[in-house]
A = this chain, B = another copy of it.
Amino acid sequence: MNINENYKNLEESYLFSTIAKRVSDFSSKHPDVDIIKLGIGDVTLPLCSAVIKALHNAVDEMGYKETFKGYGPEQGYDFLKNSIQDYYKKFNVSLDLNEIFISDGAKSDLGNILDLFDNNNTCLVPDPVYPVYVDTNVMAGRKIVYIDANEENDFLPLPDDKIYADLIYICSPNNPTGAVYNRVQLSKWVDYAIKNNAIILFDSAYESFISDNELPRSIYEIDGAKNCAIEFCSLSKTAGFTGTRCGYTIVPNNLTFNGMNLNKMWLRRQTTKFNGVSYIVQKAAEAVFTPDGQKQIQENINYYKQNSKVISDTLDKLSIKYTGGKNSPYIWLKCPNNMNSWDFFDLLLTKIGIVGTPGAGFGKNGDNWFRLTSFNTYEKTTEAMNRFYSLF
C-alpha cells in the first residue's frame, strides 16, 4: 500500500503553539499582569435570539415522528438555499438555486473543491496567506506560486501577466490583512482568470464586515465572474457560527472546462462524499436571513466594529500604518521602528500584557507586520489600546 507521499511536504505550523507557550511562560513569571488577548480569531458573542429560537423549534421537530427529518438533500434544503438566493439579490447578484450548495463551513469546501481539479494545476496564492490554501494543495502535490501582498500594493496584489496560474485564491476582506479589493481591482482578476482559462476560488467569509457600500461583497458583482469564479462563504463570522458550522458555496452553471461542468461535478462530489448539513443547523442558518436575524447579527457585527474603531483610532493617533479595521474584524499594522513581528510580539506581551499575532506566521511579507482582532470585549479592547497608546 502506498501512502500519499505529498503529506511529507507539509510544513508544521508552530505559530499558535509558540504564541501560547510564550504567553504561558510570561504569565507564570508575572501572575499579576492582566493579559488581554487581541489575537483571538474566533467570535465571542453568543448566537442571536432568532437563531436560538429556530434551533429550539427544529429540535422539537426532530422529536416527533410526524416532523422528524432523516436524510436531507446533500446540497442543502431549498428553504435555506432560497434565503441565500434572496440575500444575494441585495448585492444585485442573481443565482439559480442549483448554484448554491450548503456546507458545514468554508474550510471544508475550500479543501474539498480541489477534488475537481487535476493535481498538475498551478495555484496562485498571495503572501501573506491563510495557511489552508497552501496546505490543501501541498497535500495534492500541486505547484504553488506566490504573489506579493505588501505595503507597496496596500496588501492588494493585482494580476501579473508574466505569472501563469490555473487556480487563483482571493480572500476579500482578507485574512490576515483585512484589506478589501474594490470593483476595479477585482475586475482585473476576473479578466486575468478568463484570459488564462483559470478559476478564482473566492473566499468571502468576512463579507458581512464590509461597511463601505462601494466595495463588492460577492465576486459575482463583477461582470464575467460567473464564467471564472467559485465563491465560498460562511456564517462563522457573520452570525457567530464557528461552533455551529454552516456555510455555503456558489458554483455557477457556466463553468465548463474540457466538456466537464464544474457545477455538475461538485454535485456529484457532494452526493458521493457528503451527506448534507444537520437539519437543525440549516434551520438555524435560515433564521440568520430573516429580518429579525439580520437585525440581530448586525448588532453583533457592530459591536466588533466598535472594537475595530478603538484599535484603528489609536493607530491613527500614533500615525502607525495599517490595513483593515473598517471593513474587517482584523487590523494589520506595521510594527513601529521597523521591528520584526516576533520582537514586536514580545514587546507588547512583556511591556503591556497584550497578545496579538505576528505577521511572520502568515508568510514572508508579514515579517514586519502584526495582526490584531476585534473579537475581545469593548472594555478589554479599550483598556488594551490605552496601554498601547501609552507605550508609543
Q: List residues of A whose CB falls within 8 A of some B CB.
A: 1-5, 7-8, 10, 42-47, 49, 52, 55-56, 59-60, 62-65, 67-72, 104-105, 107-108, 110-112, 115-118, 120-121, 132, 135-136, 139, 166-167, 196-199, 240, 242-245, 257-258, 260, 262, 265, 268-269, 272-281
Contacts and interface: CB of A to CB of B under 8 A. Distances in A.
A1 B281 contact: no
Nearest to A122: B1
Contacts of A69: 243
Copies in the complex: 2
A64 B46 contact: yes
A70 B42 contact: yes
B46 A63 contact: yes
Contacts of A63: 46-47, 49, 52
A117 B1 CA distance: 8
Contacts of A72: 243
A47 to B, nearest CB: 5
B112 A245 contact: no
Contacts of A118: 2-5
Given A136-B273, A272-B135, A59 B62 contact: no
Contact of A1 (B45, B70, B167, B273): B167
A281 B62 CA distance: 12
